[in-house]
Every structure is written in structure tokens, then in C-alpha cells.
Structure 1
Amino acid sequence: MKDAFPVLDVTDWPVVLFEVGGSEEKVWITDPAGQKRALFKPNVRHDNIEQADHWPEKLASELAGLSGIPAAAIDLVVRNGRRGCVSYDIKPEGGWELQPGWLLLADLLGDHDPTDKRHHGHTLSNIETVLSSYNHPPGFDVPENFTAFDVFVGYLILDALIANRDRHPANWSVLRGPTGGDQCLSPSYDHATSLGFSLTDEERSRKMRDAREWEAFLRKGTAHRFEGCRQVTLVDFALRALRMIDGAVRSYWLDRVASWSEDHLTALAASVPEMSVAARRFAVRLVLANRRRLLDA
């Protein structure tokens, strides 16, 4: 039996920066022991074992690792009595900057409104174009010949698995270093609105009992943050992206997704504290269902 993931007390971690453009509740803090910088994200929408913001982040990050998908490392924490998580800095040391996807799209299109509800310009082809001069994320176990877009497709696979509908153009980024050649796709981040996080246990149990409700819930997971994809499921959107890349890369991602077992996933969910039994069961069943839809297509 895998040990439970720890819940760290980060009350004494000093604040080094308030999150730019975010609420004052999100602050950058530093681990005094290891000097690792991390963004503290307190639970805001929900804060109980049924519904929360922190455990979806943790489980999604661990599932990404299981599938070889670069993602921010997450720890569950408490700070001044508030539960949440820390997302460790994805920027390499030495003058690197994070630039969100919407800035790249604005450069390509001449103008891009990240708040546009139609998400004009946020398309797979445009993303492939703007990432063409970027490398894959550093420090992760992906083949050296993979392009940034090859890895971005992995992020869409993760979204499909966990039912993450929030991949808007500020929720993917690139990293730019101190020299012109230092530029790469950033690891994936911000997966809080996934895994049925907002459902109550009664709703989860009902959906798992009723086949029609279950199928309806799976169909509600749409890629609505992309232009023209309000009715396109996350699974179908990931499959579209997979068809855009080389066959060997496509096989790599599907093989990685197929490589872990239900027992692996169940053990991961069981290791996430402050998660109800129904939330664990639902998350496992959801990911397995979406994996089957990906692999059987």
C-alpha cells in the first residue's frame, strides 16, 4: 500500500512575491530548507473532502508523471490554517521568464483577446505554428527529438483523461531564457478544475449508478476553450491533435497512457489525503473511462 502524500505546513515559508495579475491570496513563497520557490494556492471555491481545489491539482500532477507528461510538481499544504497546495516554480534558474500562450497568438495574429468567449484564434494549427521555434520542456523524460507541439499534444491527452476544460491561452505558456536560443514550452500547470472537483458525493454516486447520467457527464467534458470546439469533447479534441503529429510520436503517447494499470491509478488516488471515498472512486472511474475512449478510437 502506497503511503499517503504528506500535507506540509508552509506557514513559516517567507513570501517573496505576490502573484502578478492574481488575487492577493496567491503568493510566491520559498522553502527555507531547500530554497525552492512555489506558488501557494489556497482553496477558494471549495474546501472539504468532497469538493476542493487542492486535491485535483495533486492527483492530476501525479497522473501526469505516471504518463510521462511534463507538469508542475504539487504538494498539499496548510498555511496559517488555510488548506491548499503549492505549485513549484516551473522556470529554470537564471533569468528565465514565463510568457502565456495568448501573447504568442497575439504576435501571430496581430491581435488576440484572451477574454474572447468565442476563443477566436485559439486553434491547434495556430498553436502548432507559434510553438514551431520552441523546444520541449527541459528536465523531463521525453524523447530529445520531440517538438514543443509534440509535447503540447501530451497536455491535451492529460486534459482528456482528467476532464480539464480550462486550457485557455493563459493556461499554457512558454519559457524564455537569458539568450535567444533559450526558449521552450513550459510544463503543464493549473489543473484544479478537473476530476469532477465541484460535484458532491451524492452527485458522484448517482452518476456512477446511472449509465445515462454517466455518459452524459463524459460528453459534457468539452474543449470549449478552443475556437469552434464548444461541442467537441476533450477526448475527440485530443484525438484531433494526435492525428496532427508523426505516427511514432502518436504511438509514444498512447503507449505511455496504456502503460499504467487500474491498480496504479487506484493507489495514487488512495494516497491523496482529504479526499472522500466517493471522490476517489469517481476520479478513478473517470480517468479509466476517458483512457478507454482515447485508446479505443
Structure 2
Amino acid sequence: MLADEPAGADGKAWLTPPGAERSESRADWWLFKPAKTGLVKATGGQHATEYRRNDDRVERIASQLARCLGLPAAEVRLARRDALEGCLSRYAIPDGWSMASGDLVLAEFDGYVSCANDPKVKERSGHNLSNIQVLMDGLFGPPFGAFSDVPAFDVFAGYLVFDAWIANTDRHAVNWAMLYRGNDVCLAPSFDHGSALGSGLRDTGIPADVDAWCARGMAGRFEGGRSRTLVDLALDAVQRGGPKAGEWLRKLAAITPEQSREILRGVPGLSVATSTFMGTVLETNQRRLCA
């Protein structure tokens, strides 16, 4: 183990393969995130009970779905650390670069309210597409692969399309970031997707009407997001962006339900009911975005 991760309260830790900790490169750093638990409220005089959430499994699913979409995102693998199940997320900052959260870089905008002390607050003033587009004007996507010459906002629009597809309601300003190296600035890969696909639902809580459940997916971490769906926010971002922003919808439309379900089948520990629900969510949101 290298060190504990100070952000969050879930026992995260940076790990490396044997010998890699002596390297100056951080390419082999992985953040271990233990599986989370939820709490079932007590009824009828009984004690509240804990249950295992699917956040770690959803992180793995999202990593593979992002690859399927061609989206730059953190690589995630399922893992076990001693008796703890969880996932490993590869260090997303290239060597020689540093990272600053969206919360830090938006601080210069009038009216922006920082979420450093409480990122979960909804209706975050100043966390809106207008400010983000101004911030990213003239900048580009992550400095590797096919995105180093793609406008940063067009790539960010892809992150929002991805959120709407996987029902990720947790894109607050600490869950996206910019990369810095000297005078160079660019968008960081997408990361932290564990709150997607109803990861906190138990089998007994899976909704019968998936269409209605998807329609209630709101962009609550954005200004005005309580009354705006993830799909509406994503389509607005695509409309505001350039030609590359529109390509995300074309890429999404080309993904078949079987591709998504194959990814879901490859994740151990998912019940049939949960896997079926997640597959239906992906099909439903794909239809809503690409109609």
C-alpha cells in the first residue's frame, strides 16, 4: 500500500504491484475502493440491517461501457483486498501532469458556490453548462489517444451523454477535473461512476416501470438540475458543442443491446434481476437520447 486516499470516508487506499512503488511513474497506481453498504430502515420494532450495494460493480461496468462508447474514462477492475471486496481504479493523471477538480477551476466565476465541503448538495449555483463552456473554450480533451485535438467541451458533452445513458446522477463538480502541465491545460478523463445504474437498489426495490424510473433521472448536481433530466442536460450540451459533440450520440446509437448485456453478464455477483434491470435501463436511456 502507498497511502490512504484522504477524499471520502470509505477506506480508499492507493496500491501498486510489487516493486512499482519505487518507480517515478504513477502509471501502475490503483485506487482501491471497498464495496459500500446501504441501510434498510427498521420496521415493526426490528433493528435496521445493512446490505451490500453494487457501486464497485457499477464502476467496472461503466469502465467497460465507456470503452465501448470510445469515451476517455478511468480503467476499473474488480478486486479483493484481504476480506474486502471492491474495485481498483487506475490512476488517471498522466506522468508530468497535475489535476484540479471542476470545483476549484470554477471558483473564479461569479456566483459559483464551492462544493468542497459538501459535494452532494443539489442545485449547485454556478455549476452550469454556460460556465463550463467558457472555462473550456480553446482547450482540448485528455492528452492521449484520440482526444488531444478534440475541443474539451465536446468531450465533456460526451461525459454528460454517458451519464444520461448509465443514469449517473452524481456528476458534481468534484467528479470531473482539468489537467495541468506548465501552461498546458486540458480536460481529464471521466471518473467516479459508482452511483449509476441504480447501484443502491436491492432486488426487492427494483422498479416495475423502468421507463418511469429512467424519466426521473435528474441532473440534480447542476444549477437548475432538480427540474432538468439527465437526458435534457446531455442533449443541451451536444447542441452547444461543435461537430465532435454530436458524434457521441451517433456512437451511442451504434451500440447494440447485446453488447451491453454481454458486459453485464461478465460481472460476478450481480443477480439476474439486477442485471436485467440494468440492461433495460441502458436500452431505455439509449432510446431516449437517440430518438
Map of 1:132 onto structure 2: 137
The change in CA–CA distance for 1:269 and 1:24 in structure 2 (over 3 A counts) is closer
Map of 1:19 onto structure 2 = 5
Contact kept, 8 Å, 1:16 with 1:30, in 2: the verdict is yes
Gaps of 5+ in 1: 1-14, 208-212
Aligned position for 2:202: 200
Letter of the aligned partner of 1:98 in structure 2? M
Is 2:280 the counterpart of 1:285? yes
CA distance in 1, matches of 2:88, 2:170: 19
Aligned counterpart in structure 1 of residue 258 of structure 2, from 255, 263, 268: 263
Identity of aligned residues (%): 37
Q: Is the aligned partner of 1:226 residue 2:222?
A: yes
Letter in 2 for 1:265: S
Query: Is contact 2:77-2:87 (8 Å) kept?
Result: yes
Describe the SS at the equivalent of 1:109: coil
Alignment partner of 1:97 is 2:98: yes
Question: How far, CA to CA, are the matches of 1:44 and 1:124 in structure 2?
Answer: 31
Deviation per residue, 1:25-50 (Å, 9 max, x gap): 11111122766101110012259997
Q: Is the 8 A contact 2:4 2:12 kept in 1?
A: yes
Match of 2:155 among 135, 139, 151: 151
Verify: 1:42 aligned to 2:42, yes or no. no
Offset of residue 23 of structure 1? 2.8
Give the counterpart of 1:190 among 189, 192, 197: 192
TM value normalised by structure 2? 0.87
Larger RCO, structures 1/2 (Cα 8 Å, 6+ apart): 1
Mapped contact 2:122–2:222 kept (Cα < 8 A): no
Give the length in aligned residue pairs: 271
Distance 2:141 2:74 in 1: 14
Deviates more, 1:38-47 or 1:215-224: 38-47
User: Normalising to structure 1: TM-score of the pair?
Assistant: 0.85
What is the CA–CA distance in structure 2 between the aligned matches of 1:33 and 1:275, rounded to whole Å? 34
- Paired with 2:112 and 2:278, the residues of 1 have a C-alpha distance of 39
SS in 2 for 1:170: coil
CA contact (8 A) 1:164 1:195 kept: yes
Tell me if 1:161 matches 2:165: yes
Query: CA 1:110–1:217 in 2, change beyond 3 Å: closer, same or farther?
Result: closer
Cα root mean square deviation, aligned: 2.1
Q: Which runs of 5+ in 2 are unaligned?
A: 22-27, 40-49
**CA contact 1:49–1:274 (8 Å) conserved in 2:** no
Query: 1:73-104, CA deviations, whole angstroms, 9 ceiling, x for partnerless residues?
Result: 0010000110000110001113x211000111
Per-residue deviation, 1:236? 1.0
Q: In the aligned structure 1, how far is the partner of 2:157 from the partner of 2:245?
A: 9
Deviations 1:172-201 (A, max 9, x none): 001112x212x2111111111111111122
- Amino acid paired to 1:141: A
Deviation at residue 20 of structure 1 after TM alignment: 2.7
Q: What per-residue deviation string (whole Å, max 9, x for no partner) do you get for residues 181-240 of structure 1?
A: 2x2111111111111111122332x51xxxxx3332112210011001202110111011
Contact kept, 8 Å, 1:50 with 1:276, in 2: the verdict is no
Which residue, out of 75, 91, 105, partners 2:77? 75
Stretches (4+) displaced over 6 A: 47-50
**Pair 1:287–1:34, CA change in 2 (3 A):** farther
